[in-house]
């Protein structure tokens, strides 16, 4: 067993920012960061667009950014939270730069601000088209300089330890005492006992086979928190990014940043018709929910598998400077964007809901905090404004740090039993997990996509329950494996998405159900 002051689950922007801040301020407190892949593998690393921050006081204002966020969120944002996050933005960005993150400047030495869907002004700070990669690099570098931070890569958190694991626990409120952790290299399971635990475990893209997220985005933190009985909210608001690179064979999709549309690219159907102005006066720069739903409608009309993003009219020298990663990735796919249109299709990208937290990142479970994409803070409402998510993670990591600076959590006085896997065996048939995974992803894609209906959702829940029964049976009899635990987590997350979708009786933002359309 390891004992620590702070257990942080996840090594993206949220987990690292909190860890660095607390480690700097309290050199005698220990922080253990557990992450299931390489230490830099996270949704953060793949963020292209950037961080939305108001920096140009002449053209932009907090008021405009707040308004844009509220409009994108379609009436379901928490206005106080929106205000707090946006007004904190510049300070948090400055801190990130002090830790060594670099952002692009223009010829006059000012920030080269980008624009994305739903933004009324240029305000997206970026590092070429690999902003997340740069942030992750800088944060990890700083974390490694701090001796009270220990990072455990290739360690998978199976479950949070809460009262129900503790024999003779009589407390009425649920508390978190740490987690059971699986060392993927040695196959050992051990306990980390923590005074305070932070879930910073990222998103859920992989519940849909077709996603811009890396393969680690399996909703582990949300599923664990749900099993521990934390409140989970707004799961119906899955955001589909309008322009993932279409790959006829592959499932996982490379993102063509929304900043490319901000740079002037057009969406066209197979006939070459630029269709977005027919759907919204902001055309390609309408918010993401509207662009994705419009593409979905074009695809249903034409029966085609994708639409196109046309960059051929753009200044190519500037494009290559701004988007070198996208330019080269397209070339790898034999698409020369100087002459060819890029085939694109919407893909699952971001979850606006998640573990409910207050302004300090507190969940509904004692000693359990959450930060980043796994949370529902109230910032995004029914649809996240582009590039608001890295900002949210920075601001909430700071708030959680501040809260912990004022509240010194003590070691829990409980005896945590070891993980019990008596009677379990190494599963002989890996195909069972693979088959259930494919079934789940297919039904999420076909029944719980951009456009939903009550009939499809009800069918989805029935099938998910059957898959869940099979997987739970396998889980009870098998030695722990990451793939089985991830599948179990994804099923829980899928069930939450479907159940909460069925409860929403009004279409809002990224949620569209044909049965909610009034005649
Ligand atoms: C993008 O670059 O299009 C993604 C930015 C975001 O999801 O906020």
Q: What angle do CA 142, 145, 146 make, to 5 degrees?
A: 100
Confidence of residue 429 (pLDDT cuts 50, 70, 90): confident
Which phi and psi angles does 214 have, rounded to 5°? -70, 170
Confidence of residue 253 (pLDDT cuts 50, 70, 90): confident
Shortest-distance Cα residue to atom 1 of ligand 1: 257
Once rounded to an integer, what is the mean pLDDT over residues 48-63?
A: 94
Confidence of residue 181 (pLDDT cuts 50, 70, 90): very high
Q: 42 in ligand 1 pocket by Cβ < 6 Å?
A: no
* Ligand 1 binding pocket mutation candidate from 85, 116, 135, 237 (most atoms within 8 A of CB): 116
* Burial classification of residue 160, based on how many CB atoms lie within 10 Å of its CB (0-12 exposed, 13-18 middle, 19 or more buried): buried
**78 vs 75: CA distance, rounded Å:** 9
Which has the closest alpha carbon to 460: 445, 473, 474, 475? 445
Structure tokens at 106: 């223009």
Confidence of residue 426 (pLDDT cuts 50, 70, 90): confident
**473 vs 495: CA distance, rounded Å:** 17
Location of structure tokens 């990735």: 329
The overall longest dimension of the chain from CA atoms, in Å, is: 70
Once rounded to an integer, what is the mean pLDDT over residues 206-232?
A: 96
pLDDT tens-digit map of 472-497 = 999 999 999 999 999 999 999 999 99
* Ligand 1 binding pocket mutation candidate from 255, 288, 291, 393 (most atoms within 8 A of CB): 255
Please state whether beta strands 342-351 and 238-245 pair in parallel, antiparallel, or not at all (unpaired). Answer: antiparallel
- Are 127 and 102 spatial neighbours (Cβ–Cβ below 8 Å)? yes
pLDDT tens-digit map of 279-338 = 999 999 999 999 999 999 999 999 999 999 999 999 999 999 999 999 999 999 999 999
Structure tokens at 430: 């890996």
CA of 24 to the centre of ligand 1 (A): 30
Q: Counting atoms of ligand 1 from 1, which one is nearest the CA of 239? A: 7
- 246: pLDDT strictly greater than 80: yes
Kindly report the length of the chain: 519
Q: What is the pLDDT of residue 250?
A: 64
| pLDDT cut 70: percent of the chain above it | 99
Once rounded to an integer, what is the mean pLDDT over residues 173-178?
A: 95
Shortest-distance Cα residue to atom 7 of ligand 1: 386
Mean pLDDT over each residue of the chain, to the nearest integer = 96
**100 vs 98: CA distance, rounded Å:** 5
**259 vs 129: CA distance, rounded Å:** 8
- Are 243 and 380 spatial neighbours (Cβ–Cβ below 8 Å)? no
Per-position b or e across 345-375, b if 16+ CB within 10 A of its CB: bbbbbbbbbbbbbebebbbbbbbbbbbbbbb
Q: 389 in ligand 1 pocket by Cβ < 6 Å?
A: yes
- 422: pLDDT strictly greater than 80: yes
Q: 48 in ligand 1 pocket by Cβ < 6 Å?
A: yes
pLDDT tens-digit map of 227-240 = 999 999 999 999 99
* Ligand 1 binding pocket mutation candidate from 68, 259, 284, 391 (most atoms within 8 A of CB): 259
Q: At what angle do helices 79-98 and 62-72 cross, to 10 degrees?
A: 120
Cα distances (Å, whole numbers) of residue 323 to 13, 112, 388, 391, 441:
22, 13, 20, 21, 31
As a whole number of Å, the end-to-end CA separation of the chain is 61
pTM of the full predicted structure? Answer: 0.96
Q: 386 in ligand 1 pocket by Cβ < 6 Å?
A: yes
Which has the closest alpha carbon to 191: 463, 420, 472? 420
Once rounded to an integer, what is the mean pLDDT over residues 242-270?
A: 90
Q: Which of 288, 376, 384, 456 is catalytic?
A: 288
CA of 349 to the centre of ligand 1 (A): 9
- Are 355 and 496 spatial neighbours (Cβ–Cβ below 8 Å)? no
Q: Which residues are bridge partners to 73 per DSSP?
A: none
pLDDT tens-digit map of 440-469 = 999 999 999 999 999 999 999 999 999 999
Kindly state the helix (H) or strand (E) to which residue 150 belongs, with its residue range: strand 149-152
Q: What angle do CA 48, 402, 375 make, to 5 degrees?
A: 45
At a CB cut-off of 8 Å and minimum separation 6, what does 97 contact? Answer: 103
- 519: pLDDT strictly greater than 80: no
Cα dihedral 461, 465, 467, 468 in deg (nearest 10)? 130
Q: What is residue 111's three-state secondary structure?
A: strand
Is 288 among the catalytic positions? yes
The set of long-range contacts for 100-103, using a CB threshold of 8 Å and a minimum separation of 24, is 100/138, 100/141, 100/142, 101/127, 101/134, 101/135, 101/137, 101/138, 101/139, 102/127, 102/134, 102/138, 103/50, 103/127, 103/131, 103/134
CA of 99 to the centre of ligand 1 (A): 23
Q: Which domains can be identified in the chain, with CATH numbers?
A: 2-236+352-406 (3.50.50.60), 245-346 (3.90.700.10), 431-479+481-516 (1.20.58.100)
124: left (phi over 0), alpha (psi -120 to 50) or beta: beta
**185 vs 427: CA distance, rounded Å:** 17
**431 vs 426: CA distance, rounded Å:** 13
């Amino acid at each position: 067993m390891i004992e620590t002051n702070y257990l942080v689950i996840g090594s993206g922007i949220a987990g690292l920012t909190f860890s660095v801040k607390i480690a700097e301020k309290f050199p005698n407190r220990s922080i253990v960061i557990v992450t299931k892949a390489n230490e830099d593998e996270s949704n953060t690393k793949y963020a292209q667009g950037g961080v939305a921050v108001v920096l140009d006081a002449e053209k932009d204002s907090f008021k405009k950014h707040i308004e844009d966020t509220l409009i994108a969120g379609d009436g379901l944002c928490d206005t106080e939270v929106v205000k707090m996050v946006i007004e904190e933005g510049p300070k948090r960005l400055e801190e990130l730069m002090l830790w060594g993150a670099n952002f692009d400047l223009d010829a006059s030495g000012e920030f080269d601000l980008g624009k994305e869907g739903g933004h009324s002004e240029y305000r997206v700070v970026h590092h070429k088209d690999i902003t997340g990669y740069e942030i992750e690099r800088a944060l990890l570098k700083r974390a490694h300089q701090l001796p009270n931070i220990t990072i455990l890569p290739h360690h998978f958190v199976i479950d949070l330890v809460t009262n129900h694991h503790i024999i003779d626990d009589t407390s009425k409120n649920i508390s978190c005492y740490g987690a059971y952790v699986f060392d993927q290299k040695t196959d050992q399971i051990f306990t980390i006992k923590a005074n305070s635990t932070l879930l910073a475990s990222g998103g859920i893209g992989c519940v849909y086979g077709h996603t811009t997220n890396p393969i680690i985005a399996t909703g582990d933190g949300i599923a664990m928190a749900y099993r521990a009985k934390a409140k989970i909210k707004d799961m119906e608001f899955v955001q589909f990014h309008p322009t993932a690179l279409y790959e006829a064979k592959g499932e996982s999709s490379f993102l063509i940043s929304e900043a490319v549309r901000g740079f002037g690219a057009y969406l066209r159907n197979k006939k070459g018709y630029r269709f977005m102005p027919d759907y919204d006066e902001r055309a390609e720069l309408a918010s993401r929910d509207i662009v994705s739903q419009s593409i979905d409608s074009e695809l249903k009309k034409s029966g085609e598998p994708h639409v196109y993003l046309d960059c051929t009219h753009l200044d190519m020298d500037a494009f290559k400077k701004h988007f070198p990663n996208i330019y080269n990735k397209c070339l790898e796919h034999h698409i020369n964007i100087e002459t060819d249109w890029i085939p694109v299709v919407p893909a699952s990208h971001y979850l606006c809901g998640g573990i409910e937290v207050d302004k300090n990142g507190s969940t509904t479970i004692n000693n359990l905090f959450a930060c980043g994409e796994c949370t529902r803070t109230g910032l995004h409402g029914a649809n996240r404004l582009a590039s608001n998510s890295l900002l949210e993670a920075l601001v909430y990591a700071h708030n959680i740090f501040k809260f912990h600076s004022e509240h010194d959590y003590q070691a829990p006085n409980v005896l945590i039993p070891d993980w019990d896997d008596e009677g379990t065996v190494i599963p002989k048939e890996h195909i069972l997990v693979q088959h259930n995974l494919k079934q789940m992803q297919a039904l999420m894609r076909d029944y719980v996509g951009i456009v939903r209906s009550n009939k499809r959702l009800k069918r989805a829940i029935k099938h998910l329950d059957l898959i869940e029964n099979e997987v739970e049976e396998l889980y009870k009899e098998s030695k722990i494996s990451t793939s089985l635990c991830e599948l179990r987590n994804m099923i829980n997350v899928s069930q939450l998405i479907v159940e909460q979708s069925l409860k929403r009786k009004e279409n809002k933002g990224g949620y569209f159900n044909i049965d909610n359309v009034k005649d």
